[in-house]
Structure 1
Amino acid sequence: MKEELFKKLNEKQSRMVEIRRYLHEHPELSFHEENTAKYIADFYQKLDCDVRTHVGGNGVVVTIDTLKPGKTLAIRADFDALPIHEETGLPFASKNEGVMHACGHDGHTAYMLILAESLIEMKDELTGKIVILHQHAEETPPGGAIQMIQDGALDGVDNVLGIHVMSTMKTGEVSYREGAIQTGRSYFKLKVQGVGGHGSSPHMANDAIVAASEFVVAVQTVISRRLNPFDVGSITIGSFDGKGSFNVIKDSVELEGDVRSMSEETRTTIEKEIRRIVGGLEAMFGVTCELDYKNDYPVLNNDEALTHFVVDSIKSSAIPEITAVTRCEPQPPSEDFAYYAKERPSVFFYVGAMPADGHFYPHHHPKFDINEDALLIASKAMGACVLDYLKGETNK
């Protein structure tokens, strides 16, 4: 069956590229992907499958039911873009000003559509069910994954697999890691309220900038002095809004920060310590503070047994375009696929998509691009896992 599937994918490779380029030209931001969702749903209209639209918002769930007993595997591809002005100079660059597919989600959708079409054509040879999760809003909290889950996208699903193409990894390489593989993320906004005044009379005011600056310095000690040195965590103050006149003492300042961690225990510790520092700030400077602290995407954990299955499936399939299957280091960014992994044993792995000349830009860069050969590789790697899964290889 793999030979048959791979033959179909080879024959349809040019269509994958065409779809990717069309989507790249017409990107849409998270929670605003109406046209993309319609494009995806329309693709399936004449195919032998069940299509459910507006799942959790703009999500599309496609079910391929073989009408034969077996397990149910979900495979996921996201389709939102980013608020970035594209600078690639590609002939198929974004036509939507200030919006760009700068993370590869256009490629995810393109390979998944063609893979799904090919699996539908082979459904008489398969058992069980395949659920295609075309997910909106991966880039922006609360994220489309949790919304789709709440709307029943995982009902009856046993396991979930996902792929991300990576411009930073060589094309031809597939990378994986069991356990914690991508960070959990938190966000906070802090307003420090003091008393404004004239720069010549600081004793008659209470300088919010001084208090807020102390917070910026003190909060870094959470990582260096409150975490076990073997734990992973980071705190970034990305916004400090203290702009005013040079001779006016600011009465209030607003800060915004980003927190990353690789375990729920670490995430809890960081939040507790930040809240404690905020309390100390009020006592030390006599200011009042308003802290809005939100935990969003959890740590992404790959199921160990299922990870081994994925690796064995890809290696044993002898896919000619794959030059190496390697265990990689954990990845610093967060990913809302983590919500699926909290609900079902899941695996998220990576397909290298570095341009052929070796010169690449990282994800979310205005010049980001992928090697389109990665689309065929992703479709074959995921397709091999699907076929092995449905014939019961995971039970061995």
Structure 2
Amino acid sequence: MLGKWYEEIEAMYDSMVEWRRHLHENPELSFQEVNTSKMIGDLLESFGIEVKRNVGGNGVVGKIYGSKPGKTIALRADFDALPIQDEKEVPFKSKIDGVMHACGHDGHTATLLAVAKVLNDNKEHLAGNIVLLHQHAEELPPGGAIAMIEDGCLDGVDVVFGAHLASGNALGEVLYGVGPTSAASDTFELKIQGKGGHGASPHQTIDSIAIGAQIANQLKHIVSRRVNPQKPAVISIGSFHAGNAGNVIADTAELAGTVRTFDEDVRDLIEKEMDELISGVCKVFHATYEFNYTRGYPSTVNTKEETEILVECVKANLPEQKLVEIIKPGMGGEDFAYYLQHRPGTFFSVGARNEEIGAVYPHHHPLFTFDERAMLDTAKIFLSLIDFYINPEKAGALVESSTI
């Protein structure tokens, strides 16, 4: 059966490319994906799949019912774009000024649509059900996942899988990991209210720039001196705005940045320490302030059994793929983490780098693209996972052979 599915998904490759390129030409920002959502829902319905629209906002959930009892498996793809100008010179360049798919979500969506078509065409062979999670707003906290979960997208789901195309890894590689694979991603904003004045009379002012610089410097010491060095953490200031003229001491300064952690205790500690440090510095220099700390996505934590199933499915069914274990998880954020807080599952990445076609730029870069054959690799992995769950006799053999 799996061989037949592979043949069918390969026959759909041109459709995958067409859908991906249409989405790339017509990107929509997080929480604004009205046309993208409609396209997905319309296509799923054209396949004969039950569709629920406007799930948690612009989310779309499809459901395929197997002919025999079994587990319910969820597969997720995100579909929002980024506020980046597309600088690629390709026929499918973004038509929307200042907006582009710079993270591969167009490819994720096209892949899951093709997988949905193949599975629905073969639903008489399915044991259990398939839930297709087409998610909006992955790029912008609070994200779409949490709202879709609150709207019931995981009701009845036993396990959940998600994939991400990776331009930093060669085509044919599959990245996996047990436990944390991405960081919790929080943001903060700080407004310092000083007292402006003439640059020649600093004693008559409260210099918001000087205070902001002190805070920016001192924040580094939270990670180096307050956080256990065996627990990774990052505090980065990405924005510092103040003043308009060289001879005027700025009345206010505004800073913004991000915090990345893996452990909840470190996350709590950093928020507390930042608040106390900012309060102390501002008090010493007689300034007031507004400090807003916003918790973003939690750390993505893959469960062991489901990761083992992924690895063994790739080994058994796709031996040409190169498995790469994630030893040191990255500091990027991913709201797939919310699904894993509610259900067991795993989130993996599929290599999509190809120097020959210029697919070498990092995610969120204006020249970002990927080798579209990675969509086919991803689709086959999804299908192999479904095949595993509809063939219980495979479960024991595969997991017993696991080495992770």
TM-score (norm 2): 0.95
> How many residues align structurally?
394
- SS of the residue corresponding to residue 200 of structure 1 reads coil
Q: Find the counterpart in structure 1 of residue 131 from structure 2.
A: 131
Residue 167 (1) aligns with residue 162 (2): no
Contact 1:159 1:344 in 2 (8 A): yes
Question: Could you tell me how far 1:282 is from its partner in structure 2?
Answer: 2.4
The runs of at least 4 aligned residues of structure 1 exceeding 4 Å deviation read: 393-396
Q: Deviations over 1:157-204 (max 9, x none)?
A: 111100000011000111101100001111111111111222222222
Contact 1:77 1:105 in 2 (8 A): yes
- When structure 1 is superposed on structure 2, of 384-393 and 261-270 the one drifting more is 384-393
Partners of 1:14 and 1:47 in 2: how far apart? 17
Q: Find the counterpart in structure 2 of residue 327 from structure 1.
A: 325
- When structure 1 is superposed on structure 2, of 27-36 and 43-52 the one drifting more is 43-52
Q: Find the counterpart in structure 2 of residue 339 from structure 1.
A: 338
- SS of the residue corresponding to residue 168 of structure 2 reads coil
- SS of the residue corresponding to residue 228 of structure 2 reads coil
Contact 2:194 2:287 in 1 (8 A): yes
Aligned 1:41-80 pairs, distance under 5 A: 41-80=41-80
Partners of 1:318 and 1:242 in 2: how far apart? 55
Q: Find the counterpart in structure 2 of residue 153 from structure 1.
A: 153
Question: Could you tell me how far 1:216 is from its partner in structure 2?
Answer: 0.4
Contact 1:306 1:394 in 2 (8 A): no
- SS of the residue corresponding to residue 280 of structure 2 reads helix
Q: Which runs of 5+ in 2 are unaligned?
A: 400-404
Partners of 1:303 and 1:323 in 2: how far apart? 22
Question: Could you tell me how far 1:11 is from its partner in structure 2?
Answer: 1.1
- SS of the residue corresponding to residue 245 of structure 2 reads coil
Partners of 1:245 and 1:10 in 2: how far apart? 61
Aligned 1:204-223 pairs, distance under 5 A: 204-223=204-223
Contact 2:357 2:371 in 1 (8 A): no
Partners of 1:12 and 1:206 in 2: how far apart? 65
Q: Find the counterpart in structure 2 of residue 364 from structure 1.
A: 364
Aligned 1:197-236 pairs, distance under 5 A: 197-236=197-236
Residue 375 (1) aligns with residue 381 (2): no
Q: Find the counterpart in structure 2 of residue 259 from structure 1.
A: 259
Partners of 2:3 and 2:380 in 1: how far apart? 10
Question: Could you tell me how far 1:288 is from its partner in structure 2?
Answer: 1.0
Q: What is the RMSD of the two structures over their aligned residues, measured on CA atoms?
A: 1.3
Residue 21 (1) aligns with residue 32 (2): no
Partners of 1:261 and 1:343 in 2: how far apart? 20
Contact 2:70 2:390 in 1 (8 A): yes
Partners of 2:355 and 2:257 in 1: how far apart? 37
The aligned amino acid for 2:344 is: P
- When structure 1 is superposed on structure 2, of 260-269 and 28-37 the one drifting more is 260-269
Q: Deviations over 1:130-151 (max 9, x none)?
A: 0000000000011010110111
Q: Find the counterpart in structure 1 of residue 402 from structure 2.
A: none
Question: Could you tell me how far 1:284 is from its partner in structure 2?
Answer: 1.5
Partners of 2:123 and 2:244 in 1: how far apart? 65
